[in-house]
């Protein structure tokens, strides 16, 4: 039995079916897909989602709820912030279980990224058939067909630190008991980085050849110092997080040329329960 679905990405936290676009004054329509990679702090954006109906049913009271959250590996409704919602009727699919025509919707009023995260936020869209706001973890492991997120950050190494970069994020525990997680960082294959870049609406530019990240790791602070950077590890075991809470971490590494896509995952009992990706662009890639 099918229903309303939002297609997820590969990995699931990089869905091409939820994105943001700058608000265009005097226009009721957002700019087309894929929007922008990195929202700018203080500017206004519309959130956009694309979903389909895979069933023979008609849904007269469908809703799409839009959220933002701090860059986090596992997100739940206690830590995600509801921005707004779209509501309307959805026709049945002509050839179930194949998806019917895609519905593209957007949320108004506009959303403005927060200053404290420098514009780095996870964007989430949840489609529901009964109008009820979803509760519980907002990740692809728990809601494969109905919730999609675009959890992608962009970072540029600082020129005066010999290519070093850092990206703050949170590890969250949506359970009512303390849990122990594994947090791992791994550079994606060059072909995957190129595919993600293409999904963002453009091909690689001359300076955006795949680069090699060195000293890649995760540290247990949102504001790492030099000693923290030197002690970073790509895999942290036994990361304990209190019930219904989050704790701050940073992804760090060195990238002197090109670009690199890095996946950070949160693992519980051998299962990935959260993830985010960071696109690191060296100065030569930005100039290109």
Supply the pTM of this predicted model: 0.86
Structural domains of the chain sorted by starting position, each given as residue range(s) with its CATH number in brackets:
4-150 (2.60.40.10), 154-287 (2.60.40.10)
* The pLDDT of residue 142: 64
- Give 13-44 pLDDT, tens digit per residue: 988 888 888 887 656 666 666 777 777 778 88
112's CB contacts (< 8 A; 6+ apart) are 42, 43, 44, 45
* The pLDDT of residue 287: 43
- Alpha helices by DSSP H, listed for 131-189, are none
Q: Is the dihedral of CA 113, 288, 187, 250 positive or negative?
A: negative
Judged by average pLDDT, the poorest of 76-85, 163-172, 192-201, 233-242 is: 192-201
* The pLDDT of residue 1: 46
Quote the tokens at residue 245: 């809470």
* The pLDDT of residue 178: 96
- Give 47-57 pLDDT, tens digit per residue: 889 888 888 88
* The pLDDT of residue 141: 63
Picking from 221, 214, 203, 116, the residue whose alpha carbon sits closest to that of residue 165 is: 214
Residue 91: pLDDT over 50: yes
CA angle, residues 268, 270, 274, in degrees to nearest 5: 45
- Give 163-202 pLDDT, tens digit per residue: 889 999 999 998 899 999 999 999 998 888 777 777 666 5
* The pLDDT of residue 114: 74
**Residue in the structure block whose two tokens are 């791992």:** 184
Whether residue 127 contacts residue 51, with contact meaning beta carbons closer than 8 Å, is answered with yes
The dihedral region occupied by 36, where left means phi > 0, alpha psi between -120 and 50, and beta the remainder, is beta
């Amino acid at each position: 039995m099918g229903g309303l679905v939002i297609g997820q990405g590969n990995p699931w936290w990089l869905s091409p079916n939820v994105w943001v676009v700058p608000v265009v004054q005097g226009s009721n329509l957002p700019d087309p897909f894929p929007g922008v990679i990195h929202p700018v702090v203080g500017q206004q954006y519309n959130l956009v989602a694309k979903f389909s109906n895979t069933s023979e049913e008609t849904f007269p009271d469908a809703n799409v709820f839009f959220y933002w959250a701090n860059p986090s590996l596992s997100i739940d409704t206690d830590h995600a912030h509801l921005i707004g919602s779209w509501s309307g009727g959805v026709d049945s699919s002509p050839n179930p279980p194949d998806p019917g025509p895609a519905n593209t919707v957007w949320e108004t009023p506009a959303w403005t990224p927060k200053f404290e995260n420098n514009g780095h936020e996870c964007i989430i869209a949840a489609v529901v058939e009964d109008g009820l706001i979803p509760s519980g973890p907002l990740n692809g492991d728990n809601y494969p067909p109905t919730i999609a997120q675009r959890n992608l950050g962009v970072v540029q190494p600082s020129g005066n630190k010999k290519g070093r970069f850092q990206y703050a994020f949170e590890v969250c525990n949506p359970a009512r008991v303390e849990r122990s997680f594994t947090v791992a960082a791994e550079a994606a294959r060059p072909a995957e980085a190129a595919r993600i870049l293409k999904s963002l609406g453009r091909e690689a530019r001359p300076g955006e050849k795949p680069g090699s990240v060195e000293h890649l790791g995760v540290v247990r602070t949102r504001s790492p110092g030099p000693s923290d950077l030197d002690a970073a590890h790509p895999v942290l075991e036994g990361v304990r997080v209190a019930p219904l809470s989050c704790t701050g971490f940073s992804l760090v590494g060195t990238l002197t040329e090109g670009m690199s896509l890095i996946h950070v995952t949160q693992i519980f009992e051998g299962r990935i329960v959260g993830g985010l990706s960071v696109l690191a662009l060296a100065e030569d890639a930005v100039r290109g």
